[in-house]
Amino acid sequence: MTDFFIRKKNELHIQLNDVQKKAVKQTEGPLLLLACPGSGKTTTMIMRIGYLIEEKNANPKRIKAITFSRASARDMTERFKRFFPQHSPVDFSTIHSLAFTITRTYLQKTGVTFELIEGGGNQKQPLTKMSLLKRLYKETVREEGTEDELTSLSTFISFLKNRMIPFNEWEQVQAPFDKAGTIALGYEQIKSKTQGHLLLDFDDMLSIAEQALRVDEQLAEKFRSRYDYVLTDESQDTSLVQHRIVEHLVAHHGNLCVVADDDQSIYTWRGADPAYLLNFKQVYPDAKLLRMEQNYRSSKEIVETAATFITRNKQRYKKEMRTDNEGAGPIVMKQFEDPKRLLEYVTYELLDEQNLEEVAVLFRNNASSTMYVNELHRRGIPFYMKDADDKFFSHWVVEDILNFMRLSFNVERKDVFSKIAMKMNLFISRDMLSRFMNKATSGNVFESFIQSVQLKGSQIEKLDACIEVYKKIPDMRPAQVIRMIRYELEYEEALKSRAAKFGYRIDQLLGILDTLEGIASQVRTMVDFANRLKELEQAVQQAKFNPPANALTLSTFHSAKGLEFRRVFMIDLVKGIIPSEEDETDPMLLEEARRLFYVGMTRAKERLELLSYREANGKPKDDSRFLNEVRAILMKPEKRNTEKLQKADLSTLPDPDGIANRTELSVGMHVVHRVFGRGVINGIGEENIQIQFGQNEKQLLLETILLRRLLKRVDL
């Protein structure tokens, strides 16, 4: 018979490299296959399954492939059909789908009924995970939980279960806010309070499946005997309980292929356990280890820089990602004056792009996307949102701002006042507010409050100041109104207090306010502002579920994993965003943030742009430490010694048409230098200016540049 690899090369035009062939042929026993970005791991996995069937005579039905997401399961199913149409289908599924099958079998056997309280889709469930958490939060904390708080609580519970932390330790685990552990325990008690009946969320499927395989030998044997070979994809994102389920399944034969890249583990906050991969041989002592280090996706510059960048991490397998691809130009690094200038630069670059489907704008936080949605929608640039988050428009900060505005239309509305009274730094108590709400009053709510509740002089002064502010608001533009709310009504100070109390990241909350102010600056009235928010919310939904043709991709770094684009803009690369302040406090979190940055870099095939800004909200911003690490990599040793600040030749007379004033310079401006020719300004410091001339960036003394008028502005 013809060699398998020659046969597939002729049939499918697929040619595997030596390491990929070894991975395909290493069928017996445990194998850890470390696959660098763009190394062809999915193709290798499908070819391995085909090899098992055609060369090892394995029954397709006895091969189990476990994926990280339903999209991956669909993709691999379709690719297998395309590669091997003559064979019966293989069982591709997510770990949750497998766990649900095991859990359902176990509960039926033990006579326990169950009800799913998560993932109900459009079906109206009488009980949901979030409704239970909302109720428990209010009972425990004595106030309504925001969507942020409930989401972080839900994620915390998932973390506890995925890490298999015993119930009696839940209240000792570091939580997103005080009493989160107590609420989590109450949630579990409610779900099992009816004897013989359980309420189950997604993570319960995993926990119960693992328990069933561990304690019920008959059931464990039933599932173990189904499969002769097991493969798991994206295993760096697999949690401890998921790993344990797989261990139970392969306990007899050990025929397990784990495909992973520890350098792309970015979900530890959700319970993923990259340390499991580093200790793989402790679980499977006879495991083989192979490294797929050949990158077929990205240019030489991107691969070499990213490969060096990730070596700053210590908790990792040593790998040497490489490529035979040609160079495609240097990695671009630009620093802008502020986020608005950065947005303008990206927008104008996108307007010049013909094939937008090959371009992505990536960011750490979803809040960054809204200003881009606003500008793209306004300019008619089509876009797709990989993981559209329309929660921005229902975020409690957005709702607060709208309520502040609503009150200006009718200052007698007690119902609106009650929603924002505790958010103006009035130093009033919730009890005072309750007493006021229960009294029959009329007229201006601030005046009525003063008359209805016993107050100190300082509190009355605050309320009087609010009365004056609300007299001014109706005549103001929306952007001015938001600034009044932030500073005159002291909403920003109230936000800082709330962030400290509940563990919010204040930079994210202030970022929402900045975004709202940016949107408001483009409309004339508060009604127009509210309508614009509705319009953008609909645009986000459209971008997710029915995107137009030739659409740009907007995505978080997390959601971009597994994707690739010809050109990638990584935006908002400043300290406090990536890495975040929290990341900086913990070496493990910092390594994960660096992995996230690495994931972003390795999405680009030809052109990678790393973009930051110098200030936001009038406060200076430092470049991300990761940006500085990349900058250091790009400054090769010989450059570091020779490329000092270059003084221009002073023997020539100043050019009367040259730029003499610093205010005429801006980042992204195209200029021509008397000596070095055409270039683009990358950054402007106190003493020097960085200009990209072709493939080289030069730092020049700003004083000399202006004094000798060595630069002229040029049009594209």
Last residue of a domain, one of 616, 634, 652: 634
pLDDT at 646: 41
Pick the residue with more confidence: 664 or 250? 250
Last residue of a domain, one of 634, 655, 671: 634
Q: How far apart are CA 349 and CA 1, in angstroms?
A: 55
pLDDT at 637: 52
> Residues 83-114: pLDDT tens digits?
999 999 999 999 999 999 999 999 999 999 99
Pick the residue with more confidence: 706 or 165? 165
Residue 159 lies in a domain: yes
pLDDT at 649: 39
Q: 376: which 2 tokens?
A: 């793209």
Per the structure, how many domains does the chain have? Answer: 5
Which range of 294-303, 366-375, 616-625 scores highest in mean pLDDT? It is 294-303
Examine the domain organization and report whether 626 and 677 are in the same domain: no
Report the pLDDT averaged over residues 513-525.
Answer: 90
Q: What's the mean pLDDT when you consider all of the chain?
A: 89
Examine the domain organization and report whether 512 and 412 are in the same domain: yes
| Cβ partners under 8 Å of residue 471, min gap 6 | none
Residue 654 lies in a domain: yes
Decide if pLDDT at 168 tops 60.
yes
pLDDT at 160: 94
User: Is this prediction's pTM over 0.85?
Assistant: no
What does the radius of gyration of the chain's CA atoms come to, in whole angstroms?
Answer: 29
Q: Percentage of residues in the chain with pLDDT exceeding 90? A: 65
| Cβ partners under 8 Å of residue 376, min gap 6 | 347, 350, 382, 383, 552, 554
Q: What is the DSSP string of 64-133?
A: EEEESSHHHHHHHHHHHHHH-TTSPPPEEEEHHHHHHHHHHHHHHHHT-EEEE-S--TTS--SS-HHHHH
Examine the domain organization and report whether 441 and 345 are in the same domain: no
300, containing H or E segment: helix 300-309
609, containing H or E segment: strand 604-613
Examine the domain organization and report whether 470 and 415 are in the same domain: yes
Report the DSSP pairing between strands 696-701 and 688-693: antiparallel
Examine the domain organization and report whether 415 and 491 are in the same domain: yes
Report the pLDDT averaged over residues 242-265.
Answer: 94
Pick the residue with more confidence: 697 or 101? 101
pLDDT at 389: 60
Residue 542 lies in a domain: no
Examine the domain organization and report whether 414 and 432 are in the same domain: yes
Examine the domain organization and report whether 23 and 83 are in the same domain: yes
Nearest-10 crossing angle of helices 506-520, 491-502: 150
Task: Give the three-state DSSP class for 470.
Answer: helix
Least confident of 57-61, 351-355, 432-436, 701-705: 701-705
Residue 301 lies in a domain: no
Examine the domain organization and report whether 629 and 648 are in the same domain: no
Residue 310 lies in a domain: no
Q: How far apart are CA 518 and CA 530, in angstroms?
A: 13
Report the pLDDT averaged over residues 127-152.
Answer: 88
709: left (phi over 0), alpha (psi -120 to 50) or beta: left
Please answer whether residues 152 and 176 qualify as being in contact, where contact means their C-beta atoms are separated by less than 8 angstroms: yes
pLDDT at 618: 76
Task: Give the three-state DSSP class for 32.
Answer: strand
Decide if pLDDT at 652 tops 50.
no
- Residue 23's alpha-carbon distances to 4, 6, 31, in angstroms, are 14, 16, 8
Examine the domain organization and report whether 461 and 405 are in the same domain: yes
The residues pairing with 616 across neighbouring beta strands, listed in sequence order, are 619
Q: 154: which 2 tokens?
A: 């839900």
pLDDT at 638: 40
Task: Give the three-state DSSP class for 604.
Answer: strand
Give helix then strand counts, H and E, for the chain: 31, 21
Residue 128 lies in a domain: yes
Q: How far apart are CA 32 and CA 360, in angstroms?
A: 31
The CB density around residue 490, as the number of other CB atoms within 10 Å, is 19
Last residue of a domain, one of 590, 605, 634: 634
Decide if pLDDT at 239 tops 90.
yes
Q: Percentage of residues in the chain with pLDDT exceeding 70? A: 96
pLDDT at 105: 97
pLDDT at 408: 93
The CB density around residue 475, as the number of other CB atoms within 10 Å, is 8
Examine the domain organization and report whether 524 and 402 are in the same domain: yes
Report the pLDDT averaged over residues 669-681.
Answer: 84
Residue 64 lies in a domain: yes
Report the pLDDT averaged over residues 521-529.
Answer: 93
Choose among 703, 708, 716, 684: nearest CA to 336.
684
Examine the domain organization and report whether 83 and 225 are in the same domain: yes
Residue 442: phi and psi, rounded to 5, are -145, 170
Least confident of 276-290, 384-398, 533-547: 384-398
CATH code assigned at 435:
1.10.486
Residue 200 lies in a domain: no
Report the pLDDT averaged over residues 166-195.
Answer: 92
Decide if pLDDT at 26 tops 50.
yes
pLDDT at 528: 94
Q: 543: which 2 tokens?
A: 């971008």
Decide if pLDDT at 343 tops 80.
yes
Choose among 391, 393, 313: nearest CA to 595.
313
Domain that holds residue 168: 113-195
Decide if pLDDT at 429 tops 90.
no
Report the pLDDT averaged over residues 302-309.
Answer: 97
Least confident of 13-17, 73-77, 304-308, 684-688: 684-688
Band of the pLDDT at 709, cuts 50, 70, 90? confident
Band of the pLDDT at 123, cuts 50, 70, 90? low
Report the pLDDT averaged over residues 650-659.
Answer: 62
CATH code assigned at 564:
3.40.50.300
31, containing H or E segment: strand 31-35
Decide if pLDDT at 703 tops 80.
no
Decide if pLDDT at 367 tops 80.
no
Examine the domain organization and report whether 521 and 558 are in the same domain: no
Please answer whether residues 210 and 248 qualify as being in contact, where contact means their C-beta atoms are separated by less than 8 angstroms: yes
Band of the pLDDT at 707, cuts 50, 70, 90? confident
> Residues 55-94: pLDDT tens digits?
999 999 999 999 988 888 999 999 999 999 999 999 999 9
pLDDT at 640: 37
